Structure 1
Amino acid sequence: MTEDVQEPNGQDDARHAEKMAKKKAARDKIMSTKTGEKGLIIVHTGKGKGKSTAGFGMIFRHIAHEMPCAVVQFIKGAMETGERDLIEKHFSDICEFHTMGEGFTWETQDRARDIATAQSAWAKAKELIASGEKSMVLLDEINIAIRYDYIAIADVIAFLQTEKPPMCHVVLTGRNAHDDLIEIADLVTEMELIKHPFRSGIKGQKGVEF
């Protein structure tokens, strides 16, 4: 038995076209008022997966447009990642990559060392941003360093508000973004956790987590 295939209804098509034309006109009117440009402060936070992935998506857009950019990783360091390998092997002329972290704090178990490492990463981040040579700088997992008081939130806020060049985009990732950072950010996305394979005994896998 074959299913009946409904022929397009001319009146329905006409109504749909009219509806979409009105939507386009409204959208075009809104877009015509959005003419400004600025270097954005972008925060990816939340318990869900995808914060760093979203940040790297923006970095790869910059690479595709041949716009100079940089990555500073505050926590991840010991493990090999696909993003770092790809950028260092093929795009190091466009994107600087600095892996400053030594792993999550429960791995190092040395607070003084973690603080020193985070401070060094923050110094490098400020250098890259303030240089004015980068269109975007990704500060991967900096929110974790701020949460554990390895970096003073007041210092981060003051620097972003007073020393960040006007057209430099700064992306800050990691869980538990500080309320003060969220307040000054231009774009904040919270990743919500609904399901995660880790809860079913599935480990992190190449090409998905790293």
Structure 2
Amino acid sequence: MTDTNDNARHATKMAKKKVARDKIMATKIDQKGLIIVHTGKGKGKSSAAFGMIFRCIAHEMKSGVVQFIKGGMDCGERDLITARFPELCEFYTMGEGFTWETQDKARDIEMAQAAWEKAKELIRNPENRMVLLDEINIALRYDYIDVNDVVAFLLAEKPPLTHVVLTGRNAKEELIEIADLVTEMELVKHPFRAGVKAQKGVEF
């Protein structure tokens, strides 16, 4: 008898919740291309962004990726996309590694600027429904690219239905201000601090 009462209460509760949820969803009619920022010290910023790229590929929606930092590093996502889905996703690795590896500020600035030009080209193309700017926040943090230029371009030239995803730590406030969706990855625990290096299939 108790189980029957519990099930009935649960069904009534869920029915009310569904009515409320349906009412909320009925007001969500706008469709737009989003500006999405993944930032924070925790792992998963690029991983989550590539998850969305693979969703676009699964829906046969054209997309593009520009990697601002990860130059010579192995990247499973890049290998898979360029080998299997080049017609659906243009992929450009423009960086030459992290700034502490290159140790050449002028070269880093040059490469970041070139990456930004390629990014603008991909974003301007309305056939690309999503463009991922991987680790652009690092280039912005070091002022290799002017954040005001990025903000102005996204507001003025991004096609209405194109999603743009920007990843990397320390996202600038100007970017957060114009974004539609911002997620901050919080670091709780990481194996690197216990002496474990980056793992294939997890980090790259």
TM-score by length of 1: 0.96
> What is the DSSP-based 3-state SS (H/G/I as helix, E as strand, rest coil) of the residue aligned with 2:182?
strand
Counterpart-to-counterpart distance in 2, 1:151 and 1:159: 12
Q: Which digits, 9 at most, give the CA deviation of each residue in 1:13-39, with x for residues without a partner?
A: 100110011111100110011010011
| 2:69 alignment partner in structure 1 | 75
| 1:100 alignment partner in structure 2 | 94
Residue 205, structure 1, aligned to residue 184, structure 2: no
RMSD of Structure 2 on Structure 1 (CA):
0.9
Counterpart-to-counterpart distance in 1, 2:34 and 2:191: 33
Residue 153, structure 1, aligned to residue 150, structure 2: no
User: How far apart are residue 8 of structure 1 and its match?
Assistant: 6.6
Q: 117, 120, 129: which one pairs with 1:135? A: 129
Counterpart-to-counterpart distance in 2, 1:18 and 1:131: 49
**Structure with the greater alpha carbon radius of gyration:** 1
| 2:176 alignment partner in structure 1 | 182
Counterpart-to-counterpart distance in 2, 1:18 and 1:46: 40
Counterpart-to-counterpart distance in 2, 1:108 and 1:133: 35
Amino acid of the residue matched to residue 158 of structure 1? A
User: How far apart are residue 200 of structure 1 and its match?
Assistant: 0.3
Q: 183, 187, 193: which one pairs with 2:187? A: 193
| 1:15 alignment partner in structure 2 | 9
| 1:46 alignment partner in structure 2 | 40
> What is the DSSP-based 3-state SS (H/G/I as helix, E as strand, rest coil) of the residue aligned with 2:15?
helix
> What is the DSSP-based 3-state SS (H/G/I as helix, E as strand, rest coil) of the residue aligned with 1:172?
strand
- Name the CA shift for 1:8/1:77 in 2 (closer, same or farther; >3 Å): farther
Counterpart-to-counterpart distance in 1, 2:200 and 2:2: 46
| Structure 2: stretches of 5+ with no match in the other structure | none
- Percent of residue pairs bearing the same amino acid type: 74
| 1:66 alignment partner in structure 2 | 60
Residue 89, structure 1, aligned to residue 83, structure 2: yes
Q: 101, 116, 120: which one pairs with 1:122? A: 116
Runs of 4 or more, structure 1, over 4 Å off, are none
Aligned residue pairs, count: 204
Q: Which digits, 9 at most, give the CA deviation of each residue in 1:92-130, with x for residues without a partner?
A: 010000000100000000000000000000000001101
Counterpart-to-counterpart distance in 2, 1:34 and 1:62: 21
User: How far apart are residue 170 of structure 1 and its match?
Assistant: 0.2
Counterpart-to-counterpart distance in 2, 1:79 and 1:90: 20
Amino acid of the residue matched to residue 145 of structure 1? A
Amino acid of the residue matched to residue 35 of structure 2? I
> What is the DSSP-based 3-state SS (H/G/I as helix, E as strand, rest coil) of the residue aligned with 2:57?
helix
TM-score by length of 2: 0.99
> What is the DSSP-based 3-state SS (H/G/I as helix, E as strand, rest coil) of the residue aligned with 2:28?
coil
| Structure 1: stretches of 5+ with no match in the other structure | 1-6
